[in-house]
Amino acid sequence: MNAVVAEKAPQHQRSGSALSAYIRDYLARLRGGELGSAPALVGLIVITAFFAIVHQGFLSAYNLEALVIQAAPIIVMAMGLVFVLLLGEIDLSAGTTGGLCSAIMAVLLIRHGWWWWLAILAGLAVGLIIGFSMGWLRAYAGIPSFVITLATFLAFQGVTLILVGGQGSIILPAGTPLIGLENSFVPLWLGWVLLGVFVVGYAALKLLDARGRRSAGLPATPVAVIVAKVVGVAVVGIAFTYEMGINRNLITNAFFSNKAEGEPWVVVLLALLFVVWHFILSRTRYGRHVYAVGGNEEASRRGGVAVSRIRISVFVICSGTAAVSGLVAASLLQSVQSNAGAGNTLLLAVGAAVIGGTSLFGGRGRMIDAVLGGLVVAVIINGMSDLIQGANSSGYEWVVTGGVLLLAAGFDAVVRRGRTA
Amino acid sequence: MKTLELKGVGKSFGPVVALRSVDFSAAAGDVTALVGDNGAGKSTMVKCIGGIYRIDEGEILLDGTAQHLHEPRDAAHLGIEIVHQDLALCDNLDVVGNMFLGREKIGRFHTLDENEMEQLAGQTLASLSVRTVRSVRQKVASLSGGQRQTVAIAKSVLWSSKIVILDEPTAALGVAQTEQVLDLVRRLADRGVAVVLVSHNMNDVMKVADSIAVLFLGRMAAQVRRSEVNQTQVVELITSGRSGDLGLPGAETIGAST
């Protein structure tokens, strides 16, 4: 039995402190290929630092706002895609679904005179129905999701074109809360209050978790690590809220004194969506089953997981979230174009999720991936457009975004190989 | 009384007779080995017990009561756990997540009760004297073959299964890991579980089994106590269906097909 002893993994050593044990565990997980959000976070810091150095004003309040409202639709869509990607599926039509839902909303609002909130609800409902149909086709008809969503990608583009019609776009009336989402700002005091609630809630949750584990006699995250994480979140939050508090409206005179200060409302929406989806994925039975089906469908079925229902549900969530993303995009543009959600919309969102660390092969990914990856994509697009002026600027933007995506996907593949080896 | 008993069980796939009036029994506390050559009907029999196939004739008795097994869920409800060769584990979940898959404990606010699950998982592994799994929060992807097998077996203990069927548990393992898994199989039986060990490996069978059932071309050649036979006799039973006065009468061994 000597060989047995030698084969054993190293035992937990009680000698070191809880903190050093935690760090050892973390490093072991890193070596094992469980990188978490580390690469995306490092990437985000590096490219942000790069653009901040080469381009004065990249981190100015004005540009920061632009960056956030550009990133918002990408991040929202990526959040929905994480669910689908966790099952190893793909939704190529998330972009055009969002476009279609925003077009339906706009048509009901403008041409049929519906109340704005009813129009929004209708748009969201259409998103859910689309998701259910595609999920059903995948789960019960057994058509590969790539094909289903490629078909709907094309078809919805057409429906949007028909709905919006010849004039090419439907202008949304200023002043509705929908427009305000991307274009008006949270009052300064409220911004600070919300930040406080977020940070205190985060800290309380982490500390309660650790206390519960300790009282259950299980190894818990050391308080020092929790404090470090909370301080990190608080510092970023405070810096962001402070800078968003700077007035960005330069034309202020006796007649025209509108101030543009405070964070855009969409930040609140992002935080809400993030908290809800993160909670569902990480703390509920449903979330556990999503990971399980993505990891091993057969094992999940034998364990009693309703695999088909899970599969349909992720498409519903993805398309529903895509509808939200479409509405956010409409808010950003203050209109719905006849090509809404077509082109690069979906690809940027998939890119965001993958850059954030979500695997295209299923089973691995978290909600934070969508946020970090979406920020990386937005920073690249924003930074490149400032950096390279002239006729070819958007060309370079595309090349760099593609390069980063390939890098992230390649990274994913290498990590996977490391894990299976 | 036998925990699991098969009486005259038959199963055909069209013209192909996979099992013909098979009798088999497994007692609590025993490791019952099920052996036979490729195509002898071992997998078919396991799938019948697991409710994956429906039997054509005969009956399956649990604790003396005839049961109708229509689907895998029926078998699971009756305390039958099959640990498959291809290991029904999710690589991306940790040990706790896998052991509670489909039967998660729910705590406050409909959230997963991770602490209770982790405690129970730890206790179960400890009660089986498993020391090879360093942390129950390890992802299964990072475990070795033997450790994975251990987790799969421990899962059946956690859910207090009455009958655990292990389908080739050592097929892909090295010498040391095989040793570990066989130890675990023994401890499982010592807890009063009826363990059925499907195996090709004669060494494993002779080492750990209390009772040996030999399938030959879809028929039960013999079910004997381990103490009453030697390895040569078992091998003869496997290859020719008879050994001395054990096994099938000569004339009837011809004609069955799989």
Q: What is the pLDDT of residues A279-306, one digit of tens each?
A: 999 999 999 999 999 999 988 888 888 8
Residues of A in contact with B133 (CB under 8 A): 9
Q: How many CB atoms lie within 10 A of CB A171?
A: 12
Among residues A342, A346, A297, the alpha carbon closest in space to that of A321 is found at A346
Residue A128's alpha-carbon distances to A92, A162, A306, B205, in angstroms, are 16, 21, 20, 55
> Which amino acid is residue B140, in one-letter code?
V
Pairwise CB contact (< 8 Å): A7 & B132: yes
Which tokens hold the place of A132?
Answer: 């259910």
- Partner B contacted by A7 (CB < 8 A): yes
Identify the residue whose tokens are 């103490």. Answer: B227
- Tell whether A68 is covered by a domain: yes
Residues B56-65 have pLDDT tens digits of: 889 898 888 8
Residues A391-412 have pLDDT tens digits of: 677 777 778 778 877 877 777 6
Distance CA B173, CA B21 (A): 34
Residues A185-206 have pLDDT tens digits of: 888 899 999 999 999 999 999 9
Closest approach of chain B CAs to the CA of A218, in angstroms? 8
Q: What is the structure's pLDDT at B250?
A: 61
Residue A179's alpha-carbon distances to A69, A198, A199, A258, in angstroms, are 12, 25, 28, 17
Q: What is the structure's pLDDT at B139?
A: 86
Residues of A in contact with B131 (CB under 8 A): 8
Mutation site, A1, A2, A5, A8, interface B, largest B CB count within 10 A: A8
Which of A3, A11, A292 is the closest to B93 by Cβ?
A: A292
Which tokens hold the place of A421?
Answer: 């080896």
Interface of A with B in 175-214 (CB under 8 A): 212-213
Residues of B in contact with A7 (CB under 8 A): 132, 144, 146, 176-177
Residues of A in contact with B175 (CB under 8 A): 3
- Partner B contacted by A14 (CB < 8 A): no
Closest approach of chain A CAs to the CA of B221, in angstroms? 32
Closest approach of chain A CAs to the CA of B62, in angstroms? 21
Among residues B52, B39, B54, the alpha carbon closest in space to that of B9 is found at B54
- Tell whether A207 is covered by a domain: no
- Partner B contacted by A111 (CB < 8 A): no
Sequence ranges of the domains in chain B: 1-79+163-173+191-258, 89-160
Distance CA A26, CA B137 (A): 12
Closest approach of chain A CAs to the CA of B123, in angstroms? 12
Which of A8, A218, A284 is the closest to B132 by Cβ?
A: A8
Pairwise CB contact (< 8 Å): B104 & A302: no
For A155, the domain range is 57-184+309-411
- Tell whether A110 is covered by a domain: yes
- Tell whether A1 is covered by a domain: no
Q: A268, exposed or middle or buried, with CB in 10 Å at 0-12, 13-18, 19+?
A: middle
| Runs of H (alpha helix) within B40-136 | 42-49, 72-77, 95-99, 114-127
Q: Give the ipTM of the model, two decimals please.
A: 0.81
What Rg value do the Cα atoms of chain B yield, rounded?
19
| End-to-end C-alpha distance for chain B, whole angstroms | 31
- Tell whether A39 is covered by a domain: no
Quick check: A19 and A27 in contact, CB under 8 A?
A: no
The CATH class of the B1-79+163-173+191-258 domain is alpha beta
Give the pairing of strands B194-198 and B163-167: parallel
Into how many domains does chain A fold?
Answer: 1
User: For the residues B76-94, what does the mean pLDDT come to?
Assistant: 83
The residues near B72 (Cβ < 8 Å, ≥ 6 apart) are A302, B50, B51, B52
- Tell whether A321 is covered by a domain: yes
Q: What is the structure's pLDDT at A360?
A: 86
Residues B157-176 have pLDDT tens digits of: 888 788 999 888 888 777 88
Closest approach of chain B CAs to the CA of A83, in angstroms? 15
What letter does residue A137 receive in the DSSP assignment?
I
**DSSP code string of A70-119:** HHHHHHHHHHHHHHHHHTT---TTHHHHHHHHHHHHHHHHHTS---HHHH
Identify the residue whose tokens are 């760099």. Answer: A400
Pairwise CB contact (< 8 Å): A216 & B179: no
Q: Quick one: pLDDT band at residue A256, thresholds 50, 70, 90?
A: low
Residues B11-65 have pLDDT tens digits of: 999 888 889 888 999 998 899 999 988 888 888 898 888 888 888 889 898 888 8
Among residues A232, A236, A252, the alpha carbon closest in space to that of A244 is found at A236
Residue A222's alpha-carbon distances to A17, A23, A41, A198, in angstroms, are 9, 10, 22, 21
Mutation site, A14, A34, A280, A296, interface B, largest B CB count within 10 A: A296
Q: Quick one: pLDDT band at residue A23, thresholds 50, 70, 90?
A: confident
Closest approach of chain A CAs to the CA of B113, in angstroms? 9
The residues near B113 (Cβ < 8 Å, ≥ 6 apart) are B104, B105, B106, B107
- Tell whether A66 is covered by a domain: yes
The residues near B88 (Cβ < 8 Å, ≥ 6 apart) are A296, A298, A299, A302, A303, B152
- Tell whether A363 is covered by a domain: yes
Residues of B in contact with A205 (CB under 8 A): none
Residue B214's alpha-carbon distances to A4, A174, A342, B231, B237, in angstroms, are 31, 81, 64, 12, 7
Which of A4, A283, A292 is the closest to B101 by Cβ?
A: A292
Residue of A nearest to B85 (CA): A299
Confidence (pTM): 0.86
